Amino acid sequence: MFVIPGEWLAADEAAGIDLTVNDQALRFDAPPRRTLADALRDNGFTGVRVGCEQGSCGTCTVLVDDQPVRSCLVLAVQAEDSSVETVEGLAGEAELHALQRAFHEHGALQCGFCTPGFLMLAAGLLRGDPKASPERVREVLAANLCRCTGGLPILRAVLAAQRELLEEETR
């Protein structure tokens, strides 16, 4: 999509950005240089955590049009017209998502700072590739860092949630 630039915006002049966050249509007013991570946090989605601002640690992972994205490496203006999903939208009305329950049951979190990023990374994987092999799950989870658990309990949790989701589907 080509956008014909009108007047240039100053670095700190707000741009109106229309997007959907967790199925809710929203308009963010964010300067063009503001990252999506910061803009989401400014608008109350503080489950988006900023761990490195360098695209390395994955704590800021959200889904943009179903794909896991490091929101510190995306400008908010780039998310115009996109559908963004954050950890705040993961649970259903009545109960937690299978991934959230599995994280709890498998000791997959301690300090909790990296947890939303891992949940969204795994949610994106299982949505796009529900039958991903254990090797593939492991490979994808290696994209994010967890300093407390090392990540093995997270792998166990994601594999357990995957089993549960597949069973639900076949029922």
Partner 1 sequence: MTRLIGASVERSANLPHLTGASRFVADIQRDGQVHARIVRSPVAHARILGIDTGEAEAVPGVIAVITAADLPDVRIPIRLAMAETPMANRFLQPPLARDVVRYVGEPLAVVVATDPYLAEDAAELVDVDLEELDVVANLGSGAPVVHQEAGGNVVVTVPLRSGDVDAAFAKADVVVRDRLRVHRHTAVPMETRGLVAEVDQNSGRLTLWGAAKVKHFTRQALSDMLGIGRDRIRLVEGNVGGGFGVRGEPYPEDFLIAFLALRLGRPVKWVEDRAEHFVATNHAREQEHELEIAATADGRLLAFRDLARCDQGAYVRSQGILPALLPALHLAGPYRWEAFSIESTGVITNRTPVGTYRGPGMTEATFVRERMLDRLAAELGLDPAEIRRRNLIPPDALPFTFAPAPGSADAPTTYESGDFPACLDHLLARAGYEDLCRLRDSRRAAGECVGIGLATYTEVGSMGPFEEARIVPTTNGRFVVHVGVASLGQGVETVLAQIAAEALAVPMEAVSIDHRDTDALANGFGAFASRSTTLAGNAIVLAAQDLRRRAAERLGVDPADVEFSSGRAMAESGAPVALHELGEGYGRFDKPHPSFSFGAALSFVSVDRGTGRVRVLRHLVLHDVGRAVNPELLRGQLAGAAAQGIGGTLLEELCYDEQGQPQSTTFADYRMPTVEDLPEIEVIIAEYPTPANPLGVKGGGESGMVATPAAIANAVADALGGAKVTALPLTAERVLDLLRGEDDHTWRNSRS
Residues of this chain that interact with partner 1 (CB under 8 A) are 11-12, 31, 33-34, 41, 45-54, 56-57, 59, 86-88, 90-91, 96, 100, 103-104, 107, 109-116, 119, 138-139, 141-155
Question: Taking the complex as a whole, how short is the minimal distance between the CB of residue 58 and partner 1, in angstroms?
Answer: 10
Beta carbon nearer to partner 1, 12 or 23 = 12
Shortest Å, Cβ 85 to partner 1: 11
Cβ–Cβ < 8 Å for 20, 84: yes
| Residue closer to partner 1 (CB basis): 79 or 99 | 99
Angle at 117 between CA 111 and CA 120, to 5 degrees: 130
Short-list 7, 33, 2, CA closest to 17: 33
Task: Measure Cα distances from 64 to 31, 37, 54, 68, 106 in Å.
Answer: 20, 12, 18, 6, 27
How many whole angstroms separate alpha carbon 84 and alpha carbon 29?
16
**C-beta of 81 vs 163, nearer to partner 1:** 163
Q: Give the residue with the Cβ less far from partner 1, 2 or 135.
A: 135
Given a contact cutoff of 8 angstroms between Cβ atoms, the answer to whether 81 and 70 are in contact is: no
Closest approach of Cβ 170 to partner 1, in Å?
Answer: 26
Nearer to partner 1, 1 or 94 (CB): 94
- Least separation in angstroms between CB 79 and partner 1: 18
Full strand arrangement of the beta sheet holding 15-21? 24-30, 15-21, 83-85, 61-64, 67-70
Shortest distance, position 31 Cβ to partner 1, whole Å: 7
